[in-house]
Chains A and B, each alone.
Chain A
Amino acid sequence: MNSKYEAVIGLEVHAQLLTNTKIFCGCSTKFGNNPNSNVCPVCLGHPGVLPVLNKKVVEFSILFGLATDCVINEKNVFARKNYFYPDLPKGYQISQFELPIVEHGHLDITLKDGTVKRLGITRAHMEEDAGKSIHSQGDETLVDVNRCGVPLLEIVSEPDMRSAEEAYLYLTKLKQIVQYLGICDGNMEEGSLRCDANVSIRPVGQEKLGTRAEIKNLNSFNNVAKSIEFEIERQIELVEDGGEVVQETLLWNADKNETYSMRGKEDSHDYRYFPDPDLIPIHISEEWKNEIAETMPELPKARFERFVNDFKLPEYDAGVLTATKNLADYYEEVLKETDDYKSASNWVMGDVSKILNEEKIDVSKFPISPVNIGKLIALINNNTISSKIAKDVFPEMMKEDKDPAVIVKEKNLVQITDTSAIDDAVTKVVDANPGQVAQFLEGKEKVIGFLVGQVMKETKGKANPQMVNDALKNKMNEMK
C-alpha cells in the first residue's frame, strides 16, 4: 500500500440468530428445508397479519451487547424500512432505526506483532431477514420465503480498521464471540454470518474521512480480506491518477478477484423509516438484564486464560484450542479421560486438526469422540501401548469410533512389558548382529538405535521401547 495513504474500514455484519422460531411468528428457522415450507400467513405477509416479537431474539441481543461492553438501551422501538422487492413480502422490513437495542461497545483484536487494538462497535440492532430470490434459467425469478423472518442482529462497527488484516481479525473475533455466546453459528458459506465492508482512503494525517464505497456479497473471510485489499489499491490508484472516489455499492467477483459497481441507484434509496405501529416498544429492565447476564457463558478470553493457568498450556496451544468454541469444548471433553493436558493438546492440535484441515470439516463432525481420544492417551500413559502403536490405533478409530482399549485387544497390540519376553528378543538380536554389537562396545553408542529397532521388529512393535533400550544396554555391558 502506498504509504501516503491510510485506509479506513468499517464492517456491517448480519448475524442470523440461533432461535428455533422466527422473529415475528412461530415458523421454524431451519436451514435447508424445501422452499416455501417454513411459512405461515404472518411471514407470507398476508392481509391482516400482525408480528409478535420472539423474546429469545431480545435476550440473544442483550447477551451480545453485554459480551461486547455495549450500552443496553432501556427503550426499544422497531421501525419499518420500506422498499419493494419480491422476496420482501410486506414491502417493508421490520428493523430498528433510532433506538437500537445495544450501542457503543467494542472488541479487542491481537495484531501479528502482538499488539492489542480496540475496535469500536457503533450499534447492533434486531431485524428480520428477507427471503431468497432465485434467478433461475430464462427470465423467471423464483422466491423462497423460508428465510423471511429469520432473526438477524445487524452489528455495525466504527470505522476503526486500517487494513484488510484488521478487518479479517475483527470478523474472526466477532464470529468467535457469537459462537461462544451460542447465538449464531457463524457460518459465512451458509449465510448465517454476512458481511458488507465500507472502505475509504485518506492521506495520512488527514482527519476528514474520504468518500466510501460499500462492498457487498462477501461470503467468506478470505473474500472480505481480498476485496478490501483490492478496493484500497483501486482507490489509491484512482486518486493518484487524479480521479475521485464516488460513493457507490460494489460487488465482489470472487472468480476475477475484483470489485465492480452495481451501477444501481442504491444510495439514493429513501427507506422512509417510521416506528412500526404493530409492535409496542420493549422496555429492558435492570432485572431482565441481570437475569441474562447470569446466563453469560465463558467467553474466549476467559477460557484462554483458564487453559493457560489451569492446564499449564503454552499460550500458543491455548490460543489455537480456544479459537473456536467447538474445538475448546472438544479439548475439554478429552480431559475427562486424562489429566495429561499437554498430550491432549498435542493430539487435538496435531492428529485431529490435521484431518479437520484436510477434510475441511468442523470438529463437531469429527468421527472420533473426544472421550476416546482421552482413553487413547490414557493407554499410552499407563504403558498399555506405545505412542508408536497409538499412531496405528488412531486410523482404526477413524474407521469406527470405538474404545481404543477394545481395538488394542482385538488387534493384539498390547505392549510387551514382560522382561523375560523382551530379554529373549534382545538375546536374539544381539546374537544376530555381532558387527553392531562390536561397534557399541567400541563406544559408538548411537548404534543402539538400530538394535532397538531390530528388537521392536522382532516384537512386532509391541515392546516397550524404553525397556528394550535398557535391556540392550544391560546385555551388552555384561559383554564388556
Chain B
Amino acid sequence: MLTYSNYSEKISQLKNKKLSLQENVQYFLNQIKTKEHLNAFNFVFDDAIEQANTISKKIEDGTAGKLAGMVVAIKDVLAIKDKPLTCSSKILKDFVSIYNATAVKKLIDEDAIIIGKTNCDEFAMGSSNENSAFGAVLNPVDEERVPGGSSGGSAAVVAAGLCDVSLGTDTGGSIRQPAALCGIYGLKPTYGRVSRYGLTAFASSFDSIGPFSNNVEDAALVMEVIAGYDKNDSTSVNKGIPGYLENIALDKKLKIGVPKEFFAEGLDPEIKESIETQIEKLKSDGFEIVNIDLPHTQYSIATYYILTTAEASSNLARYDGARYGTRKENPKDLIDMYTSSRSENFGDEVKRRIMLGTYVLSAGYYDAYYKKAQKVRRLFKNDFDKAFELVDIILTPTVPATAFKLAEKMNDPLAMYLGDIYTTSANLAGIPGINIPVGKNSSGLPIGMQLMSAQFNEETLFQMSYYIQKKLL
C-alpha cells in the first residue's frame, strides 16, 4: 500500500526515512507483475531499482532534484535513449532510440525514476488503445472495458497504482479522454508549452505532451519541470513558467463559461447530470457561471480529422523500411519493399488515416479539404479568443460517454471518432485542457469533467482543479 497521497508527502517521507525508495520501487514492480494482464506496459525497466539506489543517495546528500524518487511511466511514443521506441507498431518493433526526448530528459535531470514505457494506440491514433501491436489495454476500473486512448496505457498505470505519474500525449483528446475513462487527472498543455522534441509525430501542429496523475498537485509539479522553451523545437514558446504548485491555491472567484454546444444531443444523461451537479455546487460557492457560445463546435471532428490525417500522412512517410524499422524480407524491387513493409506492418487505423491524409493533400483536393480546414481552424481560435474575453475557464464534459466495452466500436471508426467531440476543440485552438474525475455513474464507471483555459494559462486550470478536488469532491 502507498503511504502517501501526493509527491510532497512522498518526498518528506523519503527524507525522514519513513519510506524507502527502493522498497517503494519494488512495490511498484510487484504491482506491475500482479497487474500484468492489464497489458498497460510495453516495457518495464529492470534498472528502476538501480535508479532508486542512486537517487536515495542523492536525497540523503541533499543533492536530489525536484522530482527525486517520483516513479514515472512514459508513453511509448516518446524517445528515451537506449530504450525501445515502438509507438506500439510492428513497423518499429525492434527500434531503439539513440536520444532522449526533451520532456523525458527534464524528468531524468530532476531525478525522476523511469519505470517503463506504456502501451498506446499505434502512433497515438485511436480512442480505445485497441489499435496496438501489443494488444489492447484493460481498464483497471472495469477490465471488460477499454481505458480510452490513445494514451490508454499511461492512464491505466496511474489508475491501477503501478507508478506515481505518467506522461501521455494528446493530439485530439488522447490524455483527457483516457483520464476520464479511468477516473484520474490528465492535462493537455497549451500547444508549444512542452517541447515536442522526441515525441514521435502524429499531427505536428496538434501534438502535446502532458501528465496523468491521481491528484492535481503532482500534475502541476510535473508540468513545472517539463514545460518551457527548447531550442530543438521551433514551435515551443519562450514564456516564463509560473510556480504551478506553489500558486495552486485559488484566491479569487473565477468566471466560468458553459458552452451549450457541449451539452447537446448525444451526451450520456448520467454524465450530464453529474456535470450539472458540479456546476450547481460552484454556483453556490460563489462562482459566476456564464452561458457562452462556441458556434463551430459541430465542425470540430471534421476539421480535426482532415488536418491531423494530412499531417500524419507526411509524418509517417519515414517508416518505409529503407533505413530503420521493419523491412519486408527479399522484396522484388524498391516499390515492393515500400508497399509490403508498410502494408504488412502498419495497423488498419494507421493505414486508414494515412490514406485519408494523402487524399486531402492531393492535387485537386487540397483547396477543398486541407486549405478549407485550415481556415475553419482559425475560426475555432477566434471562438475561444472571444470566449476567454468573457470568462476565465470553460467547463464541459470530457467525453459524451463512459468507458465502453472492448471491441464494441472497433468496426465503427466513425462512432469512435465522434467520441472525441468535446476534446478536439482544445487541440484545434491550441489551448490547455484538463480532465477532473468528478464521480462515477450507476455502474461504477468514472465520469470526467473538462476545464479549458486561454493559451499559456495552465496556472488557472491547476488552481480551479485543485479547488474542485479539495472542496467539491
Chain A residues close to B by CB (< 8 Å): 41, 44-53, 80, 82, 84, 86, 89-92, 141, 143, 145, 270, 272, 274, 277-280
Residue B87 CB within 8 A of the other chain: yes
Of the residues A47, A48, A272, A279, contact of B234 by C-beta under 8 Å: A279
Of the residues B85, B320, B361, B366, contact of A91 by C-beta under 8 Å: B320
**Contact in complex: B235, A280 (CB < 8 Å):** yes
Of the residues A48, A53, A270, contact of B362 by C-beta under 8 Å: A270
**Contact in complex: A280, B314 (CB < 8 Å):** no
Nearest-neighbor residue (CB-CB) of B206 within chain A: A277
Instruction: Give every chain A residue within 8 A of B313 (Cβ-Cβ).
Output: 82, 272
Instruction: Give every chain B residue within 8 A of A84 (Cβ-Cβ).
Output: 317, 320, 338
**Contact in complex: A46, B99 (CB < 8 Å):** yes
A346 CA / B310 CA spacing, docked (Å): 64
A473 CA / B135 CA spacing, docked (Å): 111
Instruction: Give every chain B residue within 8 A of A52 (Cβ-Cβ).
Output: 231-234
Contact residues of B between 75 and 119, Cβ < 8 Å to A:
77-79, 85, 87, 92, 95, 97-99, 101
**Contact in complex: B322, A277 (CB < 8 Å):** no
Residue B318 CB within 8 A of the other chain: yes
**Contact in complex: A41, B322 (CB < 8 Å):** no
**Contact in complex: B204, A278 (CB < 8 Å):** yes
Instruction: Give every chain A residue within 8 A of B320 (Cβ-Cβ).
Output: 84, 86, 91
Residue B323 CB within 8 A of the other chain: yes
Nearest-neighbor residue (CB-CB) of A25 within chain B: B232
Q: Is the interface of A mostly helix, strand, loop or mixed?
A: loop
A82 CA / B313 CA spacing, docked (Å): 9
Contact with A along B214-247 (1 / 0, CB 8 A): 0000000000000000011111000000000000
Contact residues of B between 370 and 399, Cβ < 8 Å to A:
370
A92 CA / B358 CA spacing, docked (Å): 13
Contact with A along B168-205 (1 / 0, CB 8 A): 00000000000000000000000000001111110111
A278 CA / B232 CA spacing, docked (Å): 11
A89 CA / B315 CA spacing, docked (Å): 11
Nearest-neighbor residue (CB-CB) of B98 within chain A: A41
**Contact in complex: B198, A274 (CB < 8 Å):** no
**Contact in complex: A274, B366 (CB < 8 Å):** yes
Instruction: Give every chain B residue within 8 A of A143 (Cβ-Cβ).
Output: 322-323
Contact with A along B324-356 (1 / 0, CB 8 A): 100000000010001000000000000000000
**Contact in complex: A82, B201 (CB < 8 Å):** no
Closest CB in chain B relative to A278 CB, distance in Å: 5
Residue B363 CB within 8 A of the other chain: yes
Closest CB in chain A relative to B225 CB, distance in Å: 19
Of the residues A47, A82, A145, A270, contact of B97 by C-beta under 8 Å: A47
Instruction: Give every chain B residue within 8 A of A80 (Cβ-Cβ).
Output: 314
Nearest-neighbor residue (CB-CB) of A275 within chain B: B374
A50 CA / B315 CA spacing, docked (Å): 11
**Contact in complex: B78, A90 (CB < 8 Å):** no
**Contact in complex: B318, A89 (CB < 8 Å):** yes
Q: A52-B231, A280-B235 are in contact. Are A86 and B323 (CB under 8 A)?
A: yes
A46 CA / B200 CA spacing, docked (Å): 9
**Contact in complex: A51, B234 (CB < 8 Å):** yes
Residue B311 CB within 8 A of the other chain: yes
A84 CA / B316 CA spacing, docked (Å): 11
A141 CA / B201 CA spacing, docked (Å): 28
Complex A-B: 22 CB contacts under 8 Å = A44-B323, A45-B318, A45-B323, A47-B201, A48-B85, A48-B196, A48-B199, A50-B196, A50-B197, A50-B232, A50-B233, A52-B231, A52-B232, A82-B361, A84-B317, A90-B318, A143-B323, A272-B362, A272-B366, A277-B203, A277-B311, A279-B235
Closest CB in chain B relative to A394 CB, distance in Å: 54
Nearest-neighbor residue (CB-CB) of B307 within chain A: A277
Given contacts A46-B99, A277-B205, 6 further A-B contacts (CB under 8 A): A44-B323, A47-B79, A48-B199, A82-B313, A84-B320, A274-B314
**Contact in complex: A48, B79 (CB < 8 Å):** yes
**Contact in complex: A272, B232 (CB < 8 Å):** no
